């Protein structure tokens, strides 16, 4: 299913207008949405997710023509990026309009805006006629949902409406670029790569601690089972250390195992970055349910195509390095 029925959209819009939460698909991951103009509704997102109040949420719109309702200015560099990549998996950080609630921005003077390309997200946004504040539809810090059943597993009956758009096409959260002071700064890697961005705006600034953005915690996107990044050469030996103690171990690799081991669950995710990204959170959920002592993940290549994957895995392990400094070759 790519498009929702009229009845489903009407139910979702009614829920949003009543101040309730709605989960909906985007091309990146599923979002947990509230009426961005209703501070009480936005606070429900934070309550349900157990999300810190100073952690901003992204506002989703169906068309750039509504930007003026949410931002005080659109720098020229943002106009270039929007013209090239919207609608799509790009979030732009812009100066907020005076009317925007601190509940959306985490008390900051900036706001994150995205125009998703998913047909069902576009249906919902157009029918609603306003901005929808929507972080990923999961408990704070945990694995993002890429299927509607992930949302149901996470929240049970706490969400009034869940629109079913099948599996997320991309499977990783949006690329985030700050355009404050008309400077393009890459704050979170995603499907849109550094070199693609630099082709539009020239050399990017990289990283930084301000403004705060979704997913910028040192540990984030994490399964409940401890996760460890391991080189390909060490996968079997590290797994054997654990299974020798009669403990179970899970492995996410880019190849089959050299030999099978008792008490070991192994997923070969392959070597194609887009496919790997699409399946990453689903694979980690599967391994998380295997009730193991640890999840060992083969460290991905130090290559721009893998930058977003490496960022998410480093955060999931709690050992974030400066993954944005991967060359844009």
- Residues 123, 44, single domain; the answer is yes
Q: What is the DSSP string of 192-236?
A: S-HHHHHHHHSSPEE--S-S--TT-SSS-SB-SS-EEEE-GGGHH
In a domain, 218, yes or no: no
Among the listed residues 254, 235, 237, the one whose alpha carbon sits nearest the alpha carbon of residue 309: 254
How far is C-alpha 90 from the geometric centre of its chain's CA atoms?
11
Are 185 and 241 in a shared domain? no
Same domain, 41 and 190: yes
Radius of gyration from C-alpha coordinates of the chain: 20
Confidence band of 326 (pLDDT split at 50, 70, 90): very low
Q: What is the pLDDT of residues 263-281, one digit of tens each?
A: 999 999 999 999 999 999 9
* Residue 71 counted as domain residue: yes
pTM: 0.93
Domain of residue 257, CATH code: 3.40.50.11030
The backbone torsions φ and ψ at residue 268, rounded to the nearest 5 degrees and listed phi first, read: -95, 105
Give a yes or no: residue 287 inside a domain: yes
pLDDT band at 324 (very low <50, low <70, confident <90, very high): very low
- Do 202 and 253 lie in one domain? The reply is no
Q: Which helix (H) or strand (E) holds 239?
A: helix 235-243
Residues 189 and 252 in one domain: no
Residue 177 lies in a domain: yes
Residues 38 and 169 grouped into a single domain: yes
Shared domain for 178 and 235, answered yes or no, is no
Domain count, the chain: 2
Same domain, 102 and 138: yes
Cβ atoms 131, 70 nearer than 8 A: yes
Residue 216 lies in a domain: no
Q: Give pLDDT tens digits for 153-203.
A: 999 878 989 999 999 999 999 999 999 999 999 999 999 999 999 999 999
Beta strands in 256-312 (DSSP E): 264-268, 294-298
Quote the DSSP letter at residue 320: -
Tell me the C-alpha distance between 194 and 192, whole Å.
7
State whether 296 and 181 are in the same domain: no
- CATH number for position 116: 3.90.870.10
**Domain extent at residue 137:** 6-206
In a domain, 220, yes or no: no
């Amino acid at each position: 299913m790519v498009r929702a029925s009229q009845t489903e959209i009407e139910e979702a819009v009614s829920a949003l207008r009543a101040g309730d939460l709605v989960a909906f698909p985007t091309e990146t991951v599923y979002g947990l949405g509230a009426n961005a103009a209703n501070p009480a509704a936005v606070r429900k997102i934070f309550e349900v997710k157990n999300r810190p109040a100073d952690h901003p949420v992204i506002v989703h719109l169906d068309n750039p023509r509504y930007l003026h309702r949410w931002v005080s200015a659109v720098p020229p560099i943002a106009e270039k990026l929007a013209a090239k990549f919207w609608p799509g998996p790009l979030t732009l950080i812009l100066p907020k309009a005076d009317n925007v609630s601190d509940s959306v921005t985490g008390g900051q003077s900036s706001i994150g805006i995205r125009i998703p390309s998913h047909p069902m997200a576009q249906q919902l946004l157009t029918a609603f006629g306003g901005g929808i504040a929507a972080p990923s539809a999961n408990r704070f810090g945990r694995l993002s949902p890429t299927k509607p059943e992930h949302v149901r597993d996470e929240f049970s009956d706490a969400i009034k409406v869940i629109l079913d758009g099948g599996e997320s096409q991309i499977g990783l959260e949006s690329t985030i670029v700050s355009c404050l002071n008309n400077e393009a700064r890459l704050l979170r890697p995603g499907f849109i790569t550094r070199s693609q961005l630099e082709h539009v705006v020239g050399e990017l600034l990289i990283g930084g601690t301000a403004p705060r953005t979704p997913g910028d915690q040192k540990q984030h996107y994490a399964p409940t089972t401890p996760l460890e990044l391991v080189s390909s050469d060490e996968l079997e030996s590290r797994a054997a250390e654990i299974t020798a103690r009669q403990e179970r171990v899970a492995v996410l690799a880019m190849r089959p195992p050299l030999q099978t081991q008792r008490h070991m669950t192994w997923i070969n995710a392959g070597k194609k970055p887009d496919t790997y990204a699409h399946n990453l959170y689903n694979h980690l959920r599967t391994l998380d349910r295997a009730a193991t002592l640890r999840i060992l993940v083969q460290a991905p290549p130090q290559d721009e195509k893998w930058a977003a994957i490496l960022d998410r895995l480093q955060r999931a392990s709690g050992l974030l390095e400066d993954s944005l400094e991967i060359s844009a070759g």
